[in-house]
Structure formats: C-alpha cells, structure tokens
Structure 1
Amino acid sequence: MTFSEPTTIGMRIDAVIASLESLPHTNPEILYASLIGASLMFSFLVLNSGGSSMALPDGGDADSLNKPKKISNAKPVSSSDEPQPKWHILRLTNYVVTFGFLLSVLKFASNATTYLDDSTSLLQFLIIWSISMCYFFGFFGISFIELDELESEPQNHQHQMLRKPMPTKESAEPPVKVVKMHPPASSAPVCTDPTSFKKPSPSIPANIKELSNGEIASLVLQDKVKDHQLEKLLDPHRAVEVRRLKVDNQLDSLGRGGALAELPHKHDLDYKRVLGANCEIVVGYIPIPVGMAGPITLNGESVYIPMATTEGCLVASTNRGCKAITQGSGAVSSILRDGITRAPCVRLPSAKEASEVFLWIERPENFQKLKEVFESTTSFGKLLEARPTVAGKNVYIRLRCFAGDAMGMNMISKGSLAVIECLRQVFPNISLVALSGNMCTDKKAAAINWIEGRGKSVVIEATIPKGVVRSTLKTSVPAIVEANVNKNLIGSAMAGVVGGFNAHASNNVTAVFLATGQDPAQNVESANCIT
C-alpha cells in the first residue's frame, strides 16, 4: 500500500511558476515585472484621481519645493478654496475592490482543492489578491502622508496669519480690538513706600518749580520724577494739576483721553489736609450733595441729620419719616452694647497647643494680664472682652474694646499687637498670621456681628398715631404692618439674609457716614437691623 504526498499551497505556487517559465516565447522576469508594474500603476491612478493634497503648485516642479518661499501680501487661500479629492470616486472604488477581494476569497474557499490542482485558476487568484493588497496598502498609506503634512502645517498657518489682511466692510468677521497694556506703576503711595520719606533724587532738576506743568508731567512719564513725590516737590494743588496731565496722557494712549475733564480739581478742596491723611495719587474730588433731614425728636432733643447722597428722594423720604416721628411720641433710644472689635489670628505648631492658648485666655486672672497690656497702649481704650475660638492650629482672639466716641480701629489694632506680645511670652511658639483674622468682622456681613454686635448696638422705639400715619405718610397702619411682615421679615428670611430684616437702612447709614466723614464701607455691619 502506497501513500501520496499531500499537496501544499507552496508546492502549487512552485508549479505555477514552473508552468510560467515553460511557456514559449515568454520571459519570466518581464512577466513578473509587468504584473507588479500593473498593480502599482493601478494603485497610483486610484490614489491620485480627483487631485491630491500632495500635488505640486500650478506651473511648479519638484525643484520648487526646495526653494525658499517668500511671504507675499496676497490673500491666503482658505482650506475650502483648495482642490479637494473626489471622495465619492474613492468610496466607490473601495466598495468594488473590497467586494471583488472577498468574492474571490469565498470562491477559492468553496473549492480550494480543485483550484490548487489547477495552475491557471490559482494564478488568476494570486493576481487578484496581489492587486487588492497593493490597493489596500496604498489607500491606507494616505493617512501617513496626511500626518506628514499636518506636522508642517502649523508653520505655514502662522505665515498665513501674518499675511491675513484687515477685514473689510464686506467681511463677516468682526474687527479685532487692539488692547494696549501699561506696565505696573513704578511709584507707590507714601504710606506703603518707605523710600518716599527720603530726600528727592539728585537727578530731579533743581529748578523743577520753574518748569511748566507739561514739562513736569513729561518727567513723571519718563520716570525721572516719582509720582508720589509731586506733593513734596511742588505745591499740593499744583501737584494735582501735573498728575492730571500725566494720567490724561496715559488714558489717551488707551483711547480714553479727556476722561478727567469733568472731574473737579480746583482750589475748592484743601489738598494740604488730604496729603498723608486721606488719599494718595490725588487727581481731583467728587462733590456730593448734602441734604439735611429733620428735625427729629430723639430722647427729648431736636436732632438734624446731614445726609450726603446722589439718590433722589432719599433725603425727602427720610425727612418725612422724621416729621412723622416728631409729630408722634418722638424716638427713644438706648445703647445695649458698646465695643469695637478686632480678632487677630495666631497659629500654633499643634492643635493641642492651640487649645492650651484657648484655655489660658479663658481664665479671669489671665484676662486681667491681657487687659493691662492692652490699656497700656492707649489713654482712652478699655479692653472689655477677649473671646478665643479654635480652628485646628489657629486661634482667633476676638477682642472687644470701648473706644468712646471714636470708632477706635487704630486704637484697638495697636492694643491687639500688645496682647499678642504678651501671649508670646507665655507661648513662645505662637505666630501672628494676621492682625485681623476676619472674625471681627470688619466690613463684611457676618452672623457674629448680627448676634454679638460690633460698635454700638442700640434699640429705638417710636409711636406714631394713626392720624399722623394717614396725613403725613399717606397710608394706613394695617398696610404698614402687612408690608413690614411680608417684606422685611418673611422676604428677608426667604432670601437668607444676615441682619437685613429692614427696608433700606444701609441707604440712610451710608449717607450719614459720607456727610460726617466716616468710612462708608462700615455700613455693612452698621446697617444690621430689624424693623
């Protein structure tokens, strides 16, 4: 019994090659080259149909790619204007080649034994598969070619951006706004620049007072004269005029020249009193109308209330309220608590040490030590309370001080530093984070101010008869009560306000502060009230 050797694909391919070589008048090398060349030509034609992104410019040749390119002022060609491949032809070709390849594979697999024995059929399959592979490799190679182009595209894009002309009226693109930026000011206010207390620099002209305002302003712009030195080198009033010229020049470079034209700056304000006390880098002042409301009967006395405001009807409505109160019982007020607060923030190495500081301050005998060192810094201030609060390694010490008729912020700040030094003698590892740790709380809405108070906490009452409500306020008692409950109480509660259960107390407080020279920012806590 004999066994035949199994036939493999490799053996069949050898048989096909042998049969090709045995054909008469046939050069195998030429035949193979023709097949490969036909496959490559077909792939090249398919890939370049409809134009290619790698095509040379019109009228150009390969050498032109190596020549340096000149930046022209011509309008850049957008991506939408460039010739695009005919993707529908490529898509249709993909379908045809893929379908033909799969069909040939299925046909070969359906009767592989027969086709392997038939050299002619096997050659046909090999030719079809070779052409298909060449096409597939060539088509998917497009992605690599495009990646190479993308890498070099950003630089070309930058050149196009440089060549991009300004938009015209017909252009849909809005004009680009040019933003000019000035460098930071080289000068600083007197209160924060110790060098400003030194003598003027020798580079400053000795006859600076003889120069014109424009010439001095030019020196300031050139940084040959510091802005904050003008008041010392010149008369304070003239310093304001020179600074206005300098600032107007700076604003003009930003397209905002003349912005100070309507700002008053003449001798109506004594700038000598402002210097070093109220404001720095002065260019003028804002006149605010001051109205007088009253009289109002308060604790048996007639009181007039100055109010500085630009809000129409504020003084008139306040004056009408003063009239209604005076026509009634008058107002009676009582001070419940009087004490300005400052809460330094100190930090300890550990929470345990922070708790030790807390407990030390809570002892009455230790509070007396703090009280003594605090009051040694002032003739009027009296330390009333020191309430510590621990947050991890931090301790916030809320100091409450009686300051008399003054607000007393400078007074209590100086005393607070003395308290910290006293604590440092007992706790050497203590460090001051901030003199004001925001638990004061200064100029910010805070529940602690609403509950504990800050400054003078007062209660005021007044009885207004029904007839006065009707004749002066032009309404009725039930209407006022209903509005107060639903607006000031329920409405404020729904908004989650802190200390704002009133109509507009902040308006009145701020107007009085402005008219009397107080810090208007303090209205945040000063206007906390409920009506």
Structure 2
Amino acid sequence: MAATSRVPGFKDRTVEERRRIVTEHTRIPRGDLAALDPAAGLSLAQADHMIENVVGTIGIPVGVATNFTVNGRDRLVPMATEEPSVVAAASNAARMARDHGGFRTSSTGSVMIAQIQLVDVVDPYAARARILESTAEIAALADAQDPMLRSLGGGVRGVDARVVDTRAGRHVIVHLTVDVRDAMGANAVNTMAEAVAPRLAELGAGRALLRILSNKADLRLTRARAVFDAQQLGGPAVVDGIVQASALAEADPYRAATHNKGIMNGVTAVVLATGNDTRAVEAGCHSHAVQNGRYSALSRFEKDATGNLVGTLELPLAVGLVGGATRAHPAARVAIAILGVATATELADVIASVGLAQNLAACRALAAEGIQRGHMSLHARTIAASAGAGPDEIAAVAARLVADRQIRAEHAERVLRGLRGEGDPAAPAAGTALS
C-alpha cells in the first residue's frame, strides 16, 4: 500500500525517478520493476505458453496514476494504455476528490453466473419445475468439481431455471450462481456447467447445448462515489455544465456511447495492466448500460447541497487476483504489487474509482474548455515521436505543433527539419524558442 498517492510533479520526473518514487511509496523491491522493461518483461517462451501460434509480443505503455484515495487508503494505480491524457486526467480528477475523502465503494460480492442451455425439451415448464426440485443435488454436483473453492468459502450459491422463447424454439436455461472469491471465475463456473449438464439434460428430458459463463456479471457489481470540489473544477458554471452533460448521456444513446467510452478508458487500462480479461469486463459493462432497455450512461453526476459535484458509478467487474495472465504475466504481477490490493474486491474497488475519475475528467474538459485542448497537447508528443523526434526534441516539436494548431504528422516532420537546421522555411530555425 502506498504511504501517500499524492506525488506533486510526478509527470515531470524521468522514468527512473518515477520508478524510485513508486518503490519508495509501495515498498516493493526496486528490481521487481524490471518486469516492466520491454527487454525484461514477457518473454517469447512465456508468451508461447499463454496463447497459440505465438510470433511475438506487443508493448503498451504502463503509467502510474497518482492521488487516488479509495476507502481511506492511498493507492498508486498502474494503467496500461496507448491513449494520451488518460493517466494524467485520472490523476487530476483523483486530486480534486482528495479534499472530500476520495472515493468510497460498495459491492455485491464475487458471484458469477454459469448458463446451461437445454433444447428439444417437450415440456419446458414441467422441466423447469423438475430441475428446481433437484436444486440441492445440482448444487452438490457442481461444488464437487472445485473442493479448493469450497475450502476458501466459495461455491454454488443458487440454482435457477428459466423458459426462454427464441426464434429456434422454446429453451430451458439453467443458471448456476457461484461465489468465485478472488478469481475472475470463468474456468471454475465453466467446469461446473460442464459437470452438471448431463444431469440437467436427464431432468429436463432434453439435450444440453451451451455450457458457459455469462459475462453479464450483474451479481458482481461494484459502486464508486466521490465528491469533486467545485472550485477546483472551475466554479459553479462548470459544475452545472457537467450535470447537464451527464443528463444528456443518461437520455441519449449517441452521447452515452462516448460518455461510457471515457469510463472504460480508465477501467480497461487498469484491467489490462493487472492481467485481467478486458473483453469480459467491457462486455459486462456495456450490457449493464442497457439494463433498463435502452443504452444509457453508467455514471451519474449531481450537485450536492454545498454546490460541489457528486459522481456515482456502478459497474459489473469480473476481475481476479488468481489464475490466468494475472499470475502468468510478470508485468501483471508487478502491477498488482504496486496497487497493494489483497482481494479481488479491493481490485474492483480501485478499478471502479479510476473509471469514475476518468469520466469526471472527460466531462469537465467538455464542459469547461473542450476536449481537444488538453488531449491534443498530450497527443502532440506522440505525433512528434512518430515523426522521428528524439527524446531531447519531442517537447520542442510538440510545443510548436500546439502553437500552430496543426497536430499532424507532416507538420511535425517540417518542424523537426527546421529544428535541426535542415532549411525548411515552414519550420523554426535551430535554437528558436518554442512556446
């Protein structure tokens, strides 16, 4: 756990200085951060054991978001993303929440759903009744597949069955609800579904077809709440603007899609950094956005009695600390160590908090100055680097691109030639101050 996540000037430090600060604040061995080096992280041999047909690996920048206080504990938060401004925006929003206690969370527990589809059932409603009469038998059979999970306090929490009309006929769908504890849970519930499918087919007098978890993890919800200081946001007008922007995202699916993408910028970055399943989390979150029959915002922003902004967010978060890439990927192990979380619930708490922070930052930029100003200033550095600027040239080239309001690759190349004194009249001469 970080002693404090408030690290002023962190963005202005060198990579080595940032690493030193991270190790000092989290008390993890400094050598462990070597797993984040491109040359020392995931090896080809390790990758070859993780997926099939391996030919290489791809690097994604890993940054550390600062200023986060979650349930009274400070966290430095690793985020893996290729998009400029995401880490900075989350850090800035978390800073605005600190004076009011940071982020507070609640959750419904680590319960996942497995589905077993029965087809060719002659009497579906009677079949449903027969299955529900055998709930104890089905639960015991499923639990027998994972004694370790049972020993940790997890296991089957319920058995349910539904009759679903489809264009291919009437099916009986059985749900196993399973507390998977600190695992993401896919392997555990899939194994249980496979094990009980033959018995369910007998009880239903039909044929078992699909036997797999549902990524609509609406029994595994995490909620985050934070108060953002009105003055730090920019004043009452900005607060009102954010509330109005939030209201549009609640009412209009065209706005909601982009609003929720801002949430997922933060969520996915932490999920990826910690080796969890980004596609499962994204599928769950977007399905949750249509829980009332229309795609809508996952968050809400309101003005409280004192004029400050209150943000709330509810997400299904199927993430874990055991199994999969979380253990197999060396960089993911380091990310978990930096976070200092001990349970899957704590990890979900942080992820939801980052999603809310990221969302607030995007809404504030839209309501105050427009999204492009801050985002494109950071994007200019990426464009400068892609144009061939070296480490000592990137800042100067990026500053000129912003000043010229031409954040494009061809302009970056012209600026770079001028900076190097290569005679491009459209670019500054070498040594020219850029502001």
TM-score when normalising by structure 1: 0.42
- Find the structure with the greater CA-based Rg: 1
Assess if the C-alpha contact under 8 Å between 2:112 and 2:177 holds in 1: yes
2:66 maps to amino acid:
G
* Equivalent of residue 220 in structure 2, options 443, 456, 460: 456
Structure of higher RCO (CA pairs closer than 8 Å, 6+ residues apart): 2
* Equivalent of residue 396 in structure 1, options 155, 163, 173: 173
CA deviation string 1:281-331 (max 9, x = no partner):
111110000011123111111122211111111111111111111232311
Q: 1:460 to 1:266 in 2, by over 3 A?
A: closer
Assess if the C-alpha contact under 8 Å between 1:265 and 1:285 holds in 2: no
Return the alpha-carbon distance in structure 1 between the equivalents of residues 176 and 203 of structure 2: 18
Runs of 4 or more, structure 1, over 6 Å off, are 264-267, 494-497
| 5+ long unaligned stretches in structure 1 | 1-263, 443-448
Equivalent residue of 1:397, what SS? strand
Q: 1:456 to 1:304 in 2, by over 3 A?
A: farther
Residue aligning to 1:415: 192
Q: 1:266 to 1:476 in 2, by over 3 A?
A: closer
Residue aligning to 1:368: 136
Return the alpha-carbon distance in structure 2 between the equivalents of residues 520 and 423 of structure 1: 32
Equivalent residue of 2:252, what SS? helix
Residue aligning to 2:229: 465
Residue aligning to 1:347: 119
What's the CA shift for 1:456?
2.3
Residue aligning to 1:513: 271
Are 2:49 and 1:273 aligned?
A: no
Return the alpha-carbon distance in structure 2 between the equivalents of residues 501 and 400 of structure 1: 31
Residue aligning to 2:243: 481
Return the alpha-carbon distance in structure 2 between the equivalents of residues 469 and 423 of structure 1: 56
Q: 1:266 to 1:328 in 2, by over 3 A?
A: closer
* Equivalent of residue 336 in structure 1, options 95, 108, 111: 108
Equivalent residue of 1:343, what SS? strand
Structure in which a larger fraction of residues adopt strand: 2
Assess if the C-alpha contact under 8 Å between 1:489 and 1:501 holds in 2: no
Residue aligning to 2:386: none
Residue aligning to 1:255: none
Return the alpha-carbon distance in structure 2 between the equivalents of residues 396 and 495 of structure 1: 34
2:194 maps to amino acid:
L
Return the alpha-carbon distance in structure 2 between the equivalents of residues 503 and 267 of structure 1: 32
CA deviation string 1:344-399 (max 9, x = no partner):
2122342x1x2222112334xx2121111111111214112223222344211122
Equivalent residue of 1:504, what SS? helix
Residue aligning to 1:524: 283
Return the alpha-carbon distance in structure 1 between the equivalents of residues 38 and 76 of structure 2: 30
Return the alpha-carbon distance in structure 1 between the equivalents of residues 98 and 44 of structure 2: 40
Q: 1:491 to 1:399 in 2, by over 3 A?
A: same
Return the alpha-carbon distance in structure 1 between the equivalents of residues 273 and 223 of structure 2: 23
Q: 1:424 to 1:433 in 2, by over 3 A?
A: closer
Q: How does 1:310-325 map to 2 (within 5 A)?
A: 310-325=82-97
Q: 1:465 to 1:441 in 2, by over 3 A?
A: same
TM-score when normalising by structure 2: 0.51
What's the CA shift for 1:265?
9.8
Q: How does 1:130-169 map to 2 (within 5 A)?
A: none
Are 2:77 and 1:300 aligned?
A: no
2:139 maps to amino acid:
K
Residue aligning to 2:128: 358
Return the alpha-carbon distance in structure 2 between the equivalents of residues 518 and 501 of structure 1: 23
Equivalent residue of 1:344, what SS? strand
Are 2:248 and 1:490 aligned?
A: no
Assess if the C-alpha contact under 8 Å between 1:290 and 1:308 holds in 2: yes
* Equivalent of residue 208 in structure 2, options 416, 427, 432: 432
The alignment yields a C-alpha RMSD, in angstroms, of 2.8
Q: 1:292 to 1:475 in 2, by over 3 A?
A: farther
Assess if the C-alpha contact under 8 Å between 1:373 and 1:422 holds in 2: no
Equivalent residue of 2:220, what SS? strand
Residue aligning to 2:321: none
